[in-house]
Structure 1
Amino acid sequence: MTPSTQPSLRAVRVLARLQRMLEFADAGLTIPQYRMLVVLSEGGERSARLAQRLAVRKPTLTALADGLIAAGYAERASEPGDRRIVRLQLTDAGRAALARADESYLAALAPLLSRMADPDRLVDGLIDAGDALDACLPARVPAQSPVESAR
């Protein structure tokens, strides 16, 4: 079996192409901005925990957060009872931007899914992969994540 026919390698190459497809979608957000808004939509987070969940270093997170705050999509809020603790939270404008991006990404994937014999199989597989990422990423955040080195 040649390297190009190995199923895992083929899957990696398909994922890279899927990412590129999403990057070209007119979502109004970059993929890193989208990822951060998705995490923030689940509830406010302290920056250390947010960096861990996104598998990025704190300086990268700070730059990303600053851009989202400047756009009005996120805000910093003090923790009740301890003003030293600052959490990032999604604003109403951030929720609207996330909803627009969700629609854009779904629209970008629709032609692909419509050509597949069993699109639910792909969707279910990606959800399983997301669950596996949630289980293994927080336990091991490298000094420089693959996401950062791919930029």
Structure 2
Amino acid sequence: MTSPDSDGLLAEQLLRLTRRVHRIQKRHLEHRDLGITPAQSRLLRTLAHWGSPPRMADLAERLEVVPRAVTTLVDGLEASGKVRRVPDPANRRVIRIELTDDGRGALRELRAARRSAAEEILAPLTEHQRAALGELLDTLIDGTPARSC
């Protein structure tokens, strides 16, 4: 059984790792000079996983932000040509957001930057340690007990 102090230490380590991941990803993104903020990056990734273009309200719900925040993100991405607003074919009063070709290109660059950052972060680990870490992270994400490592 773990003590409250060891749980606090683990929580602190996770927070420090998260901050390190963000710093490294940011550095890799800056080298690619995409002009995309982390929040815009998250919106682009969310759009990429949607089957048909979502409404702004759907994006706000999925991103767990207020609709006004999505409007600001979409405004910036639309100005740079990465997304566009399109009317819903079934209800022209509803606006949907879709990726443009430039947006898909930016996503490829974002994925490459994330891969580079992951390689840098995981470099000290062996393949066995990476597999064990993956299982542990899955357990923490899913909230289900881990298989033995």
Q: Give the paired residue count.
A: 132
Q: Whose radius of gyration is greater, 1 or 2?
A: 2
- Secondary structure at the counterpart of residue 92 of structure 2: strand
Deviation of residue 127 (structure 1)?
A: 5.5
**Residue identity opposite 2:83 in structure 1:** A
Of the structure 1 ranges 90-99 and 10-19, higher mean CA displacement relative to structure 2 is found in: 10-19
In structure 2, the CA distance between the partners of 1:66 and 1:127, relative to structure 1 (3 Å rule), is farther
Percent of aligned positions that are identical:
30
Distance 1:128 1:74, change over 3 A: farther
- The answer for unaligned runs of 5 or more in structure 2 is 144-149
> Which protein, 1 or 2, shows the higher relative CO under an 8 Å CA cutoff with sep ≥ 6?
1
Question: Which contiguous aligned blocks of 4+ residues in structure 1 show a shift greater than 4 angstroms?
Answer: 1-5, 123-132
Change in CA separation of 1:35 and 1:123 when aligned onto 2, cut-off 3 Å: farther
Cα distance in 2, alignment partners of residues 89 and 129 from structure 1 = 32
CA RMSD of aligned residues (A): 2.3
- Runs of 5+ unmatched residues, structure 1: 133-151
Residue 39 (str. 1) matches residue 42 (str. 2): no
Give the aligned partner of residue 74 of structure 1. Answer: 83
Q: TM-score, normalised by structure 2?
A: 0.76
1:119 counterpart residue number: 130
Structure with a larger share of its residues in strand: 1
Q: Following superposition of structure 1 onto structure 2, how do residues 48-127 of structure 1 map, counting pairs within 5 Å?
A: 48-117=57-126, 118-126=129-137
TM-score by length of 1: 0.75
